[in-house]
Amino acid sequence: MTILPRQIIPLGAASDMAHCIRLLACPITVAAALTVADPAAAKVFDTVEVRGALFIPEDDIRMTCGAEAGIDYLDLELQAVEDCLMSTGVFETVAVYGEGAALVIDVQELNTRPGRIDASLAYASDDGILAGLSFERYNLFDRTYGALSFEFSPAVRRLSGKLYRTEVFETDLDMGFEFVAGRDAYDDRSYVHESIRAEPYLAWPIAPSTRLEGGIGIRGHRLTDVDGDASALLLGEETDDITAPYLRLSLSHEYISGAEEGARNWQNFGYSVNVDQYYWNVGTDDPILDSRLAARLRVPVAQSLRLLVGFDASVLNGTDGNATRAIDRYFPGADSFRGFAPRGIGPRDDDDALGGNKFVKASLELQRDFGDVFKIPFQGGVFVEYGASWGLDDTLDGAIDDDWHARSTFGVSFNFDIAGTPASVYVAKPLSKEGGDETQIVGLSLQTWF
């Protein structure tokens, strides 16, 4: 589940504006204002309120030209603050005035519809090499963010789109719409999976760090082109199309101590919890309850050293006595369980990975920030992961082993950034595994934009 801020802050053009307003030395400053006016005319304000800011952080606007609460301001000094902000070149209009006990800074930004178009090339352990094309624009419509992206490779095709509007119906609720379509035909699978879904949803920012979402959508997906020599379970699960409504409820909470906007916050204590509940195929003979939990904890240990703790758990159930299909079940491996290949663990029938109705994984990683190594930001860590994927509704009369079998791995990880291209590499060795598991010692993830 993606969390968008209450005030949509762009990653491209608007962040450049924010950088500009932080660093630009204003030719007219409050300190340079004339102060020969009558001191009795000075006013003291209890608060400083910024209005009209869409993309530039309000704290930057307050601090750039010295607008502070509890200070005596002459009218001439308020004019100096106004002139200083205008001199940054990122505002169309600026008005600075008193309103009761508040000093109001009312701005209108020049670039109110920043956006970008990107082409990208990425590599991920799960999907291999992916080419991508994406578009995003803030204020595509009034208070509405819009994005469209397409990813493709010989095995994967994905198209996704999103619209997100803040404060719909003039309330605290936000509204979004998500569209996702995809096709994957991996070489290590005996079938093709195609899916398309569309979902409008409402989002309620309960607090700055807590968010509740609820959506009602429709999904169509199918499992086709099953190889003739595939598992009898997969042959029996082949379906031309299942199109039905679904419900989603999601709750997320994130906390970072002493978080500063725009800062890395690498050394800060933090945690996050995400709970997602799906009810797929409503009104059909195949209703499925899909429950997912993801929790993360980050604990500073020493200077430039932190401990990362992760826990993931998912469970899938047919609510009407119906069996799940492979296109519903969980297939951990690669980035989701380092040390194993994509779809590398869980119930199998000979060479066919079948996925599991249940998945649990815990991870522990000690990570250090080495700063710049040869002018490249570099982080490294050591980790262990432990978990399993298990459970099937149909074991072909016991021919398939779907019991709990724990797997564990130990490895080292490296994260670095080369010329704006983030990369992540890990080397992992399974400590415990089962016969038939597919291992993958080295994993790589990187993406570059053009």
Write the DSSP assignment of 80-101 as a string of letters: HHHHHHHTTS-EEEEEEEEETT
Please check whether residue 380 is in contact with residue 367, taking contact to mean a CB–CB distance below 8 angstroms: yes
Highest average pLDDT, of 76-80, 211-215, 369-373, 415-419, comes from 211-215
Q: Which of 47, 75, 109 is the last residue before a domain boundary?
A: 109
Same domain, 164 and 31: no
H or E stretch including 271?
A: strand 270-280
Q: How many CB atoms lie within 10 A of CB 285?
A: 11
Domain membership flag for residue 83: yes
Q: What's the rounded mean pLDDT across residues 7-25? A: 39
Question: Which band of pLDDT confidence, cut at 50, 70 and 90, is reported for residue 14?
Answer: very low
Please check whether residue 73 is in contact with residue 43, taking contact to mean a CB–CB distance below 8 angstroms: yes
Domain membership flag for residue 6: no
Same domain, 56 and 36: yes
Q: Give the model's pLDDT for residue 90.
A: 85
Same domain, 86 and 226: no
User: Quick one: which of 175, 177, 185 has its CA closest to 160?
Assistant: 177
**CA 283 to centroid of chain Cα atoms:** 31
Q: Dihedral (C-alpha) 185, 294, 367, 128: value to the nearest 10 degrees?
A: 10
Q: What's the rounded mean pLDDT across residues 394-419? A: 94
Residue 80 lies in domain: 13-109
Domain membership flag for residue 361: yes
Q: Give the model's pLDDT for residue 264.
A: 58
* pLDDT (tens digit per residue) in 205-216: 999 899 999 999
Domain membership flag for residue 1: no
Same domain, 128 and 97: no
Domain membership flag for residue 292: yes
Same domain, 63 and 165: no
Q: Which of 58, 78, 109 is the last residue before a domain boundary?
A: 109
Q: What's the rounded mean pLDDT across residues 186-192? A: 94
Same domain, 274 and 135: yes
Same domain, 58 and 166: no
Q: Which CATH number fits the domain that encloses residue 345?
A: 2.40.160.50
Question: Which band of pLDDT confidence, cut at 50, 70 and 90, is reported for residue 138?
Answer: confident
Unique residue bearing structure tokens 């379970």: 233
Mean pLDDT of all residues belonging to the chain? 87
Print burial letters for 218-227: b (CB count within 10 Å at least 16), e (below 16).
ebebbbeebe
Same domain, 359 and 300: yes
Same domain, 318 and 350: yes
* The pLDDT of residue 12 is above 50: no
Q: What's the rounded mean pLDDT across residues 189-213? A: 96
Domain membership flag for residue 4: no
Q: Tell me what percent of the residues of the chain surpass a pLDDT of 90.
A: 64
Alpha helices in 24-123 (DSSP H): 58-64, 75-86
* The pLDDT of residue 81 is above 50: yes
Domain membership flag for residue 28: yes
CA 444 – CA 334 distance, rounded (Å): 9
Q: What's the rounded mean pLDDT across residues 275-282? A: 98
Q: Give the model's pLDDT for residue 19.
A: 40
Q: Which of 46, 77, 109 is the last residue before a domain boundary?
A: 109
Q: What's the rounded mean pLDDT across residues 291-298? A: 97
Instruction: List the structure tokens of 418.
Output: 């080369």
Number of domains making up the chain: 2
| Start-to-end C-alpha separation, the chain | 27
Instruction: List the structure tokens of 120.
Output: 């990208």
Q: How many CB atoms lie within 10 A of CB 27?
A: 9
What is the DSSP secondary structure assignment for residue 32, as one 8-state letter?
G
Question: Which band of pLDDT confidence, cut at 50, 70 and 90, is reported for residue 380?
Answer: very high
* The pLDDT of residue 145 is above 90: yes
CA 138 – CA 128 distance, rounded (Å): 31
Domain membership flag for residue 2: no
Q: Give the model's pLDDT for residue 16.
A: 43
Same domain, 240 and 383: yes
* The pLDDT of residue 160 is above 50: yes
Higher-confidence position of 55 and 104: 104
In Å, what is the CA distance from 208 to each residue of 180, 202, 204, 205, 403? 27, 16, 10, 7, 42
* The pLDDT of residue 275 is above 80: yes
What is the DSSP secondary structure assignment for residue 112, as one 8-state letter?
S
Residues 6+ apart with CB under 8 A from 279: 246, 247, 248, 287, 288, 289, 290, 319
Q: Give the model's pLDDT for residue 265.
A: 66
Question: Which band of pLDDT confidence, cut at 50, 70 and 90, is reported for residue 447?
Answer: confident
Instruction: List the structure tokens of 393.
Output: 């509704």
CA 344 – CA 366 distance, rounded (Å): 25
CA 306 – CA 28 distance, rounded (Å): 44
Q: Give the model's pLDDT for residue 252.
A: 98
Same domain, 421 and 344: yes
Q: Which CATH number fits the domain that encloses residue 67?
A: 3.10.20.310
* pLDDT (tens digit per residue) in 112-136: 778 889 999 998 888 889 999 999 9
Q: Give the model's pLDDT for residue 389.
A: 97
Same domain, 73 and 212: no
* pLDDT (tens digit per residue) in 26-39: 444 444 443 444 55
Q: What's the rounded mean pLDDT across residues 139-161? A: 93
Q: What's the rounded mean pLDDT across residues 325-340? A: 95
